[in-house]
Amino acid sequence: MRLLIGLMAGYFMIFSGKLSGQEKGQLIRSYFDSIKIHDLHNGNVLLAENNHPLIIYSGGYADQRLNKRNHALSRFNLASISKIFTSTAILQLREKGKLKLEDDYSRYFPEFPFKGITIQHLLTHTSGLPNLELTEAVIKKNPDTVITNAILMTMLQEWGKPLYFKPGDEFRYCNTNYMLLALLVEKLSGLPFARYLDKYIFKPAGMSNSYLAMYGTHSWNDTARVIHQVLPTFFDSVYIPSNEVKRYRFSEYNNEAAYGSGNVISTVEDILKFDAAFFAGKLLKQASIDLALTPLKLNNGQVYEDHMDTMWGDGKGYYGLGWEIFEQPGYGKAVGHGGFKFGIATFYYRSLERKQTIIAYTNGVSNFGAVVTSGFYLLNNKPAIPVDTKKSVVRAYAKALIAGGPDHAVSMFHLYRSDTAHYYFSVKEMNFLGYDFLYQATFKGHQQMSLETFKLNTFLDPADYNVYDSYGEALMESGNRQDAIIMYRWSLKLNPDNEGGIKALKKLNAL
């Protein structure tokens, strides 16, 4: 306890003036020591100033089932951070006169079925093309299909639907855009995309531990890569690979092989090397860098604006050419990108004015936004977000329900919920647990456990229409029509616009 008090002291101190590098480093180390002691971040984090690392944190498991720990050189799938590399490749080809951003994509691929979509539309997610829904028909016909870039053009030709909007009118994040850009890099360079990245980006930047994972090649089975792992349900306690979870099969198995949009594999140190090389002008000329980091303007002349990715607090988010752009009051402009797949999250941030860098990955337990934001605060002489070591009441309740039945579980629930120093409670988590019991469990009595969970939730938050809607669904699934009707009616009394409840009630009344 004495150690913890010592570690926490720095987090709640009032910062005054500018800390020395040594003082800042000590506070950063204290924060991440506390995170590690309590196993609060599974993954790696690097904080740097002027491309000098202040800390490289590593915690948790690369593969929990095999008891393999994460370490400083653990290789993570960058997910959508990969789009920065695709953008850089496109801008390199532009500098060589191989393309213009205003060019129609169909100029290079006449078989591309949509006219009027430019390379810039693809880079800025303003094309109007479909995202993963493009793959649904193929996967429905053959559930074992793994979607690759090689079949992308055929799927677009067979889509048979119009664009969602006129190119340039709206921003709509779409991985299809970057798959198409990777195909363009291959066509114009004459190199496989993996080879292009290695030759023109990874090697020039000194990124010796980075590569593009290509489905069907040896790189796909790299045992040094961390596993994308999840707790499948709120009643599970062991992490398993996300592509083994049935509910994630569509995205994590069928759609896991796309490149250009994802699948760059790297370490935190290698991304710092990229950061240094990119902003030193070793990969692109300054004019191209400035172009990449200019906020998108839509056809109506308005700059597209959204919330910041991952980072907490005040600030605005924009999008450039494959880069997210952050404007934070008092801190100026920063750029980077976030990434997410089930079982993994990533974040890369570069302050242009303060030359600060944050690189963070997680593939397990983490309050990711709090960890990233705390790193930002500590770099800027502000206290970190207080470390939260509280456990979930809902997970503890689930364990008690499975082990001892409903009466024991309710007793333990009240005990856990009253212990606010060590536990937190969330009605939303309780709702998730009810659905986990209802649809994800296969053990005996799981349906009754779902009913018990949803029932209890109606007493915990009686003003929320959704708790009655969920309980009604479980009652309907268990064959209890009359009580399901009562619950749906109560849900609609609280929220007459609940479309799901309206449809369910019509179905029940028709039986």
Domains of the chain, by residue range, sit at 77-379, 426-510
pLDDT at 7 over 50: no
- Find out whether 363 and 65 touch, Cβ atoms under 8 Å: no
8-state DSSP, 331: T
Between CA 427 and CA 119 the distance in angstroms is 45
Using 50, 70 and 90 to split pLDDT, how confident is the model at 19? low
CATH code for the part of the protein at 77-379 = 3.40.710.10
What global pTM score does this model have? Answer: 0.91
pLDDT band at 6 (very low <50, low <70, confident <90, very high): very low
Residue 11: pLDDT over 50: no
Q: What is the mean pLDDT of residues 18-37?
A: 86
Per-residue CA distances from 219 to 89, 192, 194, 265, 351 (Å):
21, 14, 10, 10, 33
pLDDT in tens, 398-448: 999 999 999 999 999 999 999 999 999 999 999 999 999 999 999 999 999
Q: Binning pLDDT at 50, 70 and 90, where does residue 3 land?
A: very low
CATH of 426-510, one of 1.20.140.160, 1.25.40.10, 1.10.260.40, 3.40.350.10: 1.25.40.10
Of 33, 32, 3, 27, nearest to 15 by C-alpha is 27
What does the pLDDT look like over 266-309, one tens digit per residue?
A: 999 999 999 999 999 999 999 999 999 999 999 999 999 998 98
Q: How many CA atoms lie within 13 A of 66 on its CB side?
A: 11
Give percent of the chain with pLDDT exceeding 70.
96
For 458-501, write each residue's pLDDT tens digit: 999 999 999 999 999 999 999 999 999 999 999 999 999 999 99
pLDDT at residue 389 is higher than 80: yes
pLDDT at 221: 87
Amino acid 25: pLDDT? 84
Q: Name every residue whose Cβ is closer than 8 Å to that of residue 378 and which is 6 or more positions away in sequence.
A: 24, 27, 28, 31, 47, 384
